[in-house]
Amino acid sequence: MQPIIDAKDLVHEYSRRDEEGNVTGITRALDGVSMQVKQGDLIAVLGANGSGKSTFAKHLNALLTPTEGTLYVGGMECGDHTKDLDIRKTVGMVFQNPDNQIIANVVEEDVGFGPENIGVPTEEIWERVADALKTVGMYEYRLNSPNKLSGGQKQRVAIAGILAMKPKCIILDESTAMLDPGGRKAVIDTITRINKEENITVILITHYMEEVTGADYVYVMDSGKVVMEGMPRDIFARSDELEEFRLAVPEAVRVAMLLREKGIELPKDILDAGELVDAVMKLQA
């Protein structure tokens, strides 16, 4: 089966200009990124501020075009702008700030805005809106004003707005960064369920390590390049490298590491609190 995302040697450069508009230099924000994502996978992209992960994400729904390399999204080639609308129907993006993404005065109208724009018949729009709001657990708020919602609820409404366009893939570009722990968990739980139940590909861009333990595969970016990739448990076993790229391991992994340093024999690939507790209980039995 053809991958939903197929990036090969992707390069993105932009020019820096001085006050008069003269080009003073070229910045390489992406430097040879290759990535293949299977339909239905939940992929995490980790990276420090300025590592290029958001620039990469913006290519996936044709907000940016590659300077070099090739990118296919759902089999469509990005870059010549002829397929931009179809690409955006295939890949939806949720951004960081919940307050910048809501445009209507009523929740259900906000969710209906996307499908209306792509020409879905009116009756079907309302069906899609109701389904999408039920999926993200916000149906009971459908007649509310969005500005009374919490940050986490707003992000779930934004996700519903994308679901209503029936995409094959949803990108969350640091969509939990401005939320409190409760809101963050609600968004991650929602997106994980959508991934499992609707078989929608999810690309989760974040620097909260705890959020990626459930991912199928993790990419780590630094200075515009993919510098690590693998299963979450293999990535988190390489804590020295992660630190070098300004990242960290989840707290439970850190506790396990410290225990191993004390000579306690625990598996090297413990991923979360549950696995750590199980391993310690086994030792003491």
**Contact set with other proteins (CB under 8 A):** 47-50, 96, 150-151, 174, 177-178, 180-183, 207, 209-210, 243, 246-248, 250-252, 254-255, 258-259, 262, 264, 273, 276-277, 280-281, 283-284
CB of 63 to other proteins, least distance (A): 20
Q: Which is nearer to other proteins, 7 or 209 (CB)?
A: 209
CB of 144 to other proteins, least distance (A): 16
Pairwise CA distance, residues 28 & 36, whole Å: 21
What residues have CB less than 8 Å from 57, skipping those under 6 apart?
Answer: 45, 93, 171, 173, 203, 205
Q: Which is nearer to other proteins, 123 or 265 (CB)?
A: 265
**DSSP letters spanning 245-283:** TT----HHHHHHHHHHHTT----TT--SHHHHHHHHHHH
Q: Which is nearer to other proteins, 193 or 246 (CB)?
A: 246
Q: Which is nearer to other proteins, 130 or 280 (CB)?
A: 280
CB of 47 to other proteins, least distance (A): 8
CB of 247 to other proteins, least distance (A): 5
- Whose CA is closest to 232, among 249, 246, 215, 245? 215
Parallel, antiparallel or unpaired: strands 42-47 and 217-222: parallel
| Strand, helix or coil for residue 9 | strand
Q: Which is nearer to other proteins, 97 or 105 (CB)?
A: 97
Pairwise CA distance, residues 269 & 132, whole Å: 37
**DSSP letters spanning 158-195:** HHHHHHTT--SEEEEESTTTTS-HHHHHHHHHHHHHHH
Structural contact between residues 155 and 137, judged by C-beta atoms closer than 8 angstroms: no
CB of 215 to other proteins, least distance (A): 17
CB of 259 to other proteins, least distance (A): 5
Q: Which is nearer to other proteins, 108 or 222 (CB)?
A: 222
Structural contact between residues 93 and 171, judged by C-beta atoms closer than 8 angstroms: yes
